[in-house]
Each structure stands twice: as structure tokens, then as C-alpha cells.
Chains A and B, each alone.
Chain A
Amino acid sequence: MAMSDDFGHIEKIEAYLEDRLRDDELSQFLDQMNTDSQLRKDVENQRMAMHAVESAGAQDLKLELKSIHKDLYPKGGSASGNNLKYGLLIAGILSIGAIGFFIKSIDEKQTAIPVHSIKTEQDVADIEKKIVDNHIEAPKEEKETSSAEVVRDIPQPIQKAKKKEEKAASKSKLEEGEIIFNFEKDGIPEPELVLSDTIGKAYLFNGKHLRFYNIDQNKISGITYMELEESLYLVYNNNCFKLELNKSPQKFIQEKDKGIIRYLMME
């Protein structure tokens, strides 16, 4: 095939691949493809070649955009501008007071008690005793034992809780001990404590809102207290467990991988 013929041939294939053929041309071209195996092969070759160029072009553009970003927002700068920085600074100062209040509240009420390396039933019993010793408010309703249930159909509140968990889990630079603030409830900051590892720790809960996150995003785990439902949810190893409030100091035991026992107790 002469070069000029080839030009026409390639242009036709390009027009087909770029949807530029008129209806009658397209119909004719498709008929031809049905009977001409060489044309089908040429179309496939052209498609691959164009894919290659487009991929390279997109790669170039991405590099150019990265360079533009660096120009516009040099390291340390932010697209959000200085106003936000000042806003955050003020919010930070205000938050310090809130943290102080929160810590004081924990000290007074002993609402959250971390217990390290719980391994035996005796440890659980000791912690239960501590709950009583600390005079945590007794439930108004008659106490009854309840076991944790695995929730298969996730209720709406837990979906909301999971969104929050995802939010925290997606923050790659969280550090142990860091306190995140949520400003969702009437602008009142809700502190959330970040822990690197919750395995082997138990927490007594008598507050309004407490959540633990594992920094390792591959092992997302967390607990969330839903005030409206008066229930505590635990998400761990892709299972969601629900704990009912006002049903005695509850104990939840989940055995995993021979010997790893997670306890979660709440009132």
C-alpha cells in the first residue's frame, strides 16, 4: 500500500475510533470490518498506539499539574489561605480550655479507665469491682445480663459512626495520644482520643462520647457510643458488635487468634 493510501486508511480508522464517522460511513466501515480480518487487526493496532500516546500525554499533564501546584502553593503554604490559619489558631486556643475541662471531667468521674494487658477472667472481675468502687451511677432500670450481638444489618446510626471512623482512619498522620475535635454538636467540641493500639486494653465508659482508633489503617478498629440509641458499638476485624446500655455493667468478650481477648465494658 502506498503512503498516500495508507494516510487515508489510517485517517479512516482514526475517525472510527474517535467517533467522527457519519452514520453512513460508520455503517460501511462496520460492514467492512466484519469481512476484513486485516482491517480488524489494523484497527486494534491503531487503538493500542493511540492508547499508548494518550497514556503518555496524561502522564505529562499530571507532572505539569504537580509543578503548577508547587508554584501556586509552595511547601508550607496552603490553598485555604491565612484566614483559615488564624481561625485554626483561635480555635486551638479555645480548644485548650475544652481539653482542660474534659480531662478534669475524666479525673472526677473516672469515666474512662484504661486497663492494660487483660488476660484472665480475674482481671475482668477486678475491673468490674473498680466500676462499683468508683461509684459510677447505677442504671435506673433493673440490671440484666446481655451479651454482645453481632450486627449483620448495620443500622443507620452505625453508618454515621463509621463515616466518622473512616474520617479518622484516613488521617495518615495521627499520633498516639492526639486528641481530635469534632465540632458537630452545637459547636461544642467533642474530644476523641487516638491510640495506636487498643488490643489488650479495656475501657470503662460512662461518658457521652468516646472513641478509639487504631492508627494502622489495615486493622481499623474503633468503638463508638451512640447517645441517641444509648448503645455502644464496637467495630473490629470487620465485625460490628452492639452493646446495650442500662443492662448492667456489661462485658463483652471476643476471642480472636487464640488468646487475644478484647474486653470492653461499659455502664
Chain B
Amino acid sequence: MYKNDEEVLLGLRSNRQDALKYVYKTVYPSVLSYVKNNSGSEDEAQDIFQEAMIVFYQKATKVDFTLSAAIKTFVFAVAKNLWLKKLRDSKKHKYIGHYENVLSDNDDEKELNEHQEKVKATLVNFLEELGDPCRKLLVLYYYEKRSMEEISSIMKYSNSNSAKNQKYKCLQRLKKVVPGDLLVNL
């Protein structure tokens, strides 16, 4: 289907689902095997792999992204690191009796993570309030890093200027509902 990694990267922009499916099929079995051989379950492998795919996608869609390793190597390495971090974290929780100093650090980290999750959920809710087409347009632009030309084609706007105007209006609407000091207040 794809002759090389460069084609996969192009595929992420032109036909995201197919390209994701291809990478999934190619890399997931190795990650599954690694996680299962290192104290994990199939569900955990799936979760970690999907997190790694999200990291990969976010990197790969950046304008200045250059491939320094094979996609398979890259995604596997990210998944492996995520899994090892998870193991380390769970170990800290289990043996708190021996590492009291680690416990306090870990509690702080846990609290921070919970806080971040809360912020994230709140932010997503704000975007949901906008509804489509604003939600879709903003995700295409800021998350999928699509150009205005691509967005006008996908969203069926007459031209890229029209898409740009629409994006501006949506962004203003979003800013009205998202307080700038959200992180401080939550």
C-alpha cells in the first residue's frame, strides 16, 4: 500500500485513516508483545500504543517535521518509553513504605496530572459548546495543521480567504468562552 515512510507521512494528510491503519497494523504487534512481556495486559498495550500514535501524529503533522528514524522504530520507542514510565509510576505507588521521599514527589505529580486532566476536559467542553462547523474548522487548522486551501476544500468554502475569515470568527467565539486565566482558577 505504502512504498516507504515518506508516503505514509503524506498519507496522514491526504487519507488519515488509511495511513493510521497501516501504521497501526505494522507496529502494534511489537508493542503488544513488549508490554505483555513486561508485566502488562493487552488492554494496557492498546492504550499505551494509542497514546504513542497520538504523539507520533502530533509530531508528524508539524510543518518542520523530518523523519530521523523509521516510523516503526519511532512509534515503538515512544510506546516503550510511555510504558516504562507507567511501570515506574505504579512501582512508586506500591512501595511507598520504602521510598517516603519519592511518595511525596509522586503525589505532587499525581495531583498535577489530575489537574491537567481537569483543565483538558474543561477546555474540550468549551470547544463542544461552539459546535460544528467551528469545532471542525479549528481542529483541522490547529490540530491537523491543515492549510487554508485544504480547509476550504474539506469544508466546502468558496476559497481560502473565506476559510480564513471563518476561522477568525470561530476563534473569537472560542476566546469569549475560554477564560485566559483558566489554569490559575482551576
- Residues of A near any B CB (own CB < 8 A): 3, 6-7, 10, 41, 44-46, 48-62, 64-66, 68-69, 71-72, 78-81, 152, 154, 162-163, 166-167, 169-172, 220, 237-240
Contact A53 B142 (CB under 8 A): yes
Contact A56 B139 (CB under 8 A): yes
Contact B50 A66 (CB under 8 A): yes
A260, B47: Cα distance in complex, Å: 39
Q: A56-B127, A64-B16 are in contact. List 20 more A-B contacts (CB 8 A).
A: A48-B123, A48-B178, A48-B182, A53-B127, A55-B124, A56-B128, A61-B53, A61-B57, A65-B24, A68-B21, A79-B32, A80-B32, A81-B29, A162-B95, A166-B87, A170-B39, A170-B41, A172-B41, A238-B96, A238-B97
A152, B175: Cα distance in complex, Å: 53
Interface size class of B (residues with CB under 8 A): 35 or more
Chain B residues within an 8 Å CB radius of A59: 124
DSSP class of B's interface residues: helix, strand, loop or mixed? helix
Contact A79 B29 (CB under 8 A): yes
Chain A residues within an 8 Å CB radius of B138: 53
Chain B residue with minimal CB distance to A154?
A: B98
Contact B171 A166 (CB under 8 A): no
Contact B179 A52 (CB under 8 A): no
Contact of A45 among B119, B128, B175 (CB under 8 A): B175
Contact of B41 among A51, A62, A171 (CB under 8 A): A171
Known: A56-B124, A69-B46. A46 touches B139 (CB 8 A): no
Contact B17 A64 (CB under 8 A): yes
Contact A71 B90 (CB under 8 A): no
Chain B residues within an 8 Å CB radius of A166: 39, 87, 90-91, 94
Within the complex, what minimum Cβ distance (angstroms) separates A128 from chain B?
A: 29
Chain A residue with minimal CB distance to B37?
A: A167
Query: What are the interface flags for B103-125 relative to A under an 8 Å C-beta threshold, 1 for contact and 0 otherwise?
Result: 00000000000000001110110
Within the complex, what minimum Cβ distance (angstroms) separates A170 from chain B?
A: 5
Contact A57 B144 (CB under 8 A): yes
Query: What are the interface flags for B17-50 relative to A under an 8 Å C-beta threshold, 1 for contact and 0 otherwise?
Result: 1001100110011001100000111101010001
Known: A53-B127, A61-B54, A238-B97. A48 touches B168 (CB 8 A): no
Contact B91 A72 (CB under 8 A): no
Contact of B142 among A50, A66, A68 (CB under 8 A): A50
Within the complex, what minimum Cβ distance (angstroms) separates A55 from chain B?
A: 5
Chain B residues within an 8 Å CB radius of A79: 28-29, 32
A170, B143: Cα distance in complex, Å: 34
Chain B residues within an 8 Å CB radius of A61: 53-54, 57, 143
Chain B residue with minimal CB distance to A69?
A: B46
Contact of A72 among B25, B39, B42, B175 (CB under 8 A): B25
Contact B24 A72 (CB under 8 A): yes
B79 close to chain A: CB less than 8 A:
no
Chain A residue with minimal CB distance to B28?
A: A79
Contact A52 B17 (CB under 8 A): no
Chain B residues within an 8 Å CB radius of A154: 95, 98
A65, B21: Cα distance in complex, Å: 8
Contact B168 A6 (CB under 8 A): yes
A239, B168: Cα distance in complex, Å: 59
Known: A61-B54, A166-B94, A220-B94. A45 touches B120 (CB 8 A): no
Chain B residues within an 8 Å CB radius of A68: 17, 20-21, 24
Contact of B126 among A6, A46, A52, A64 (CB under 8 A): A52
Within the complex, what minimum Cβ distance (angstroms) separates A12 from chain B?
A: 14
B164 close to chain A: CB less than 8 A:
yes
Within the complex, what minimum Cβ distance (angstroms) separates B84 from chain A?
A: 12
Contact B175 A46 (CB under 8 A): yes
Chain A residues within an 8 Å CB radius of B180: 41, 44-45, 48
15 interchain pairs, CB-CB under 8 A: A48-B123, A50-B142, A51-B123, A52-B123, A52-B126, A53-B139, A53-B141, A53-B142, A55-B124, A61-B54, A72-B21, A162-B91, A166-B39, A166-B94, A170-B44
